[in-house]
Amino acid sequence: MYKILAKKELAPKIKFLEVHAPEIAEKACPGQFIMLMVGETGERVPLTLAGYDVKKGTISFAFNEVGKTTKLLGCLNEGDCISSITGPLGKPSETRNFGRVLCIGGGVMIAPMLLQAKALAEAGNSLTTVIGARTKDLLFFEEEMKCLSSEFHVATDDGSKGFTGLDFLKEILEKEKFDRCIAYGPVVMMKNVSEMTKPHGIPTIVTLTPIMIDGMGMCGVCRVTVGGKLKFGCVDGPEFDGHNVNFDELVNRQRMFLPEERLSSFIWEIQGRCACGGKQA
């Protein structure tokens, strides 16, 4: 059992948990993920690590309450336990000194992006960071990200704060030179960023979050096509070269069980099965 030591709400429906898991904390690296199960009848879901503290023996992660599992997870409070966590999984990110790095974090993935950015800054890179969300209320970690960066931008889909959309990046890419770009966020965002950096020949790393069950290479549901080759998101990734990923196929595979996921979430909502009645904690 893994005890929750701290819980924060980063934005509406975006929660952040710090959990006691000393052995995972000791081995964790930026870019890796965990597989988590809430209760014995639960599903196994992957969540990208947003932090770890070897001294405290904790790991942390953020999630968006979209399906039954994440809603259940959002109902847990400090002192509650998560039944199963396996990790750290996947290949760690490369965090050496590349020179100038463009870091883009979108939505809930701003949280693991911050961990990544910290490691890159520590390695001596100069960072230009961008955080983005659908609307301004869903932004978080602005100050934390800003203080790591030599240049910092905010973007929202609806233009409620900062730039509208990511098109402004085109201009930045024309003017400035980058040695590497890292994009963590929704598939559409990572696809757009990859398309923008490709003409400039900037190596672009994206992190993929396909459906996973075991997270250790066994089931193959996380298979993705990268450079025409079959890869497993869990063991070959989760980070891949964004210029070679078949994003359209990934979107299609992510949506495979959408009707079932909605049904599961709906039933849970009407049954109001958790202590707080299915509402936010």
- Give the residue, chosen from 54, 66, 267, 281, that forms a contact with other proteins under the rule CB under 8 A: 267
- Of residues 78-107, those binding other proteins (CB under 8 A): 83-89
Dmax (CA) of the chain? 55
Distance from C-alpha of 141 to C-alpha of 131, rounded to nearest angstrom? 9
Count of chain residues binding other proteins (CB under 8 A): 42
- 121 sits in which H/E element: helix 110-122
Assess 216 for contact with other proteins (CB under 8 A). yes
Smallest gap, in angstroms, from Cβ of residue 31 to other proteins? Answer: 13
Smallest gap, in angstroms, from Cβ of residue 12 to other proteins? Answer: 24
Contact 207, 224 (CB under 8 A): no
Smallest CA-to-CA distance from 189 within 92, 101, 93, 109 is with 109
191 vs 223 by CB, closer to other proteins: 223
Assess 30 for contact with other proteins (CB under 8 A). no
Q: What's the DSSP call for residue 198?
A: G
Assess 37 for contact with other proteins (CB under 8 A). yes
Assess 48 for contact with other proteins (CB under 8 A). no
Distance in angstroms between the alpha carbons of the first and the last residue of the chain: 21
Distance from C-alpha of 109 to C-alpha of 152, rounded to nearest angstrom? 17
> Which residue stretch of 22-30, 132-140, 155-163, 173-181 sits at the interface with other proteins (rule: CB under 8 A)?
22-30
> Which residue stretch of 105-113, 116-124, 194-202, 224-232 sits at the interface with other proteins (rule: CB under 8 A)?
224-232
105 vs 112 by CB, closer to other proteins: 112
- Give the residue, chosen from 3, 7, 13, 44, that forms a contact with other proteins under the rule CB under 8 A: 44
Strand order in the sheet with 84-89: 81-82, 2-11, 14-20, 58-64, 44-53, 33-37, 84-89
Distance from C-alpha of 240 to C-alpha of 94, rounded to nearest angstrom? 11
Two tokens at 150?
Answer: 């030599």
How many H helices and E strands in the chain?
A: 8, 16
Assess 261 for contact with other proteins (CB under 8 A). yes
Assess 249 for contact with other proteins (CB under 8 A). yes
Distance from C-alpha of 250 to C-alpha of 220, rounded to nearest angstrom? 13
Smallest gap, in angstroms, from Cβ of residue 197 to other proteins? Answer: 25
Neighbouring-strand partners of residue 209:
none
Please give the single-letter amino acid code of residue 257. Answer: F
Assess 256 for contact with other proteins (CB under 8 A). yes
Assess 244 for contact with other proteins (CB under 8 A). no
46 vs 106 by CB, closer to other proteins: 46
Assess 69 for contact with other proteins (CB under 8 A). yes
- Give the residue, chosen from 3, 5, 264, 269, that forms a contact with other proteins under the rule CB under 8 A: 264
Distance from C-alpha of 99 to C-alpha of 112, rounded to nearest angstrom? 21
Contact residues toward other proteins (CB under 8 A) are: 23-24, 26-27, 37, 41-44, 68-69, 83-89, 213-214, 216-221, 223-225, 230, 235, 249, 252-253, 255-257, 260-261, 263-264, 267
